[in-house]
Amino acid sequence: MDVDATPTEATAVRISREGPRVSVIVPAYGVAHLLKEALRSLQVQTLADWECIVIDDGAPDDVATAVTPFLADQRIRFLSTENQGVSAARNTAIRASHAPLVALLDGDDLLRPTYLEKMVAALEADPSARFASCNARIFGAVPEDRLCFTRPQGDARGRGTLANVLDRSYGVYIGAMFWRADFDAVGGFDEAMAHAEDFDFWVRLLQLGGHARFVDEVLGDYRIRSSSASAVTLKMIAGNIRVYEKARTKLPEGAPEIALIDALLAEQYASVAFETAVNAVIAHSSRERVGRLQTAHDRVRHGAPSIMWNAAYALWKLAPPLAPPMLRWRRAMHRRGNGGNAVQALTSILSSRRGAT
Per residue in 46-62, pLDDT (tens digit) is 999 999 999 999 898 99
Measured between alpha carbons, how far is 227 from 124 in angstroms, rounded to an integer? 37
Domain shared by 159 and 262, yes or no = no
* Residue 129, domain CATH: 3.90.550.10
DSSP 8-class letter at 62:
-
**Does residue 348 belong to any structural domain of this protein?**
no
- Percentages of the chain per state (helix, strand, coil), in multiples of 5: 50, 15, 35
If 0-12 CB within 10 Å is exposed, 13-18 middle and 19+ buried, where does residue 283 land?
exposed
Residues 316-352 as b or e (16 or more Cβ within 10 Å = b): beeebeebbeebbeebbbebebbbebeebbeebbeee
Alpha-carbon distances of 111 from 40, 118, 135, 176, 293, rounded to whole Å: 9, 12, 11, 11, 43
Percent of the chain with pLDDT over 70: 85
**Does residue 216 belong to any structural domain of this protein?**
yes
Nearest to 86 by CA among 26, 162, 136, 7: 26
Domain shared by 254 and 193, yes or no = no
φ/ψ (deg, to 5) at 139: -145, 175
Nearest 5°: CA angle at 10, between 5 and 13? Answer: 145
> Pairing mode, if any, of strands 101-104 and 50-57?
unpaired
Q: What is the mean pLDDT of the chain?
A: 86
Domain shared by 92 and 206, yes or no = yes
Residues 6+ apart with CB under 8 A from 347: none
Contact yes or no for 133/172 (Cβ under 8 A) = yes
pLDDT of 330 above 90: no
Number of folded domains in the chain? 2
- What is the model's pLDDT at position 9? 45
> In this predicted model, what pLDDT tens digit does every residue of 206-262 receive, in sequence order?
999 999 999 999 999 999 876 554 336 788 899 999 999 999 999 999 999 999 999
- Mean pLDDT of the region 288-308: 81
**Does residue 353 belong to any structural domain of this protein?**
no
Domain assignment of residue 248, given as a range: 233-342
**Does residue 351 belong to any structural domain of this protein?**
no
Task: Please tell me the pTM assigned to this model.
Answer: 0.84
- What is the model's pLDDT at position 357? 36
Q: How confident is the model at residue 180 (pLDDT cuts 50, 70, 90)?
A: very high
Measured between alpha carbons, how far is 225 from 121 in angstroms, rounded to an integer? 31
> Pairing mode, if any, of strands 129-140 and 177-179?
antiparallel
**Does residue 207 belong to any structural domain of this protein?**
yes
pLDDT of 7 above 70: no
If 0-12 CB within 10 Å is exposed, 13-18 middle and 19+ buried, where does residue 104 land?
buried
DSSP code string of 27-43: E-SS-TTTHHHHHHHHH
**Does residue 357 belong to any structural domain of this protein?**
no
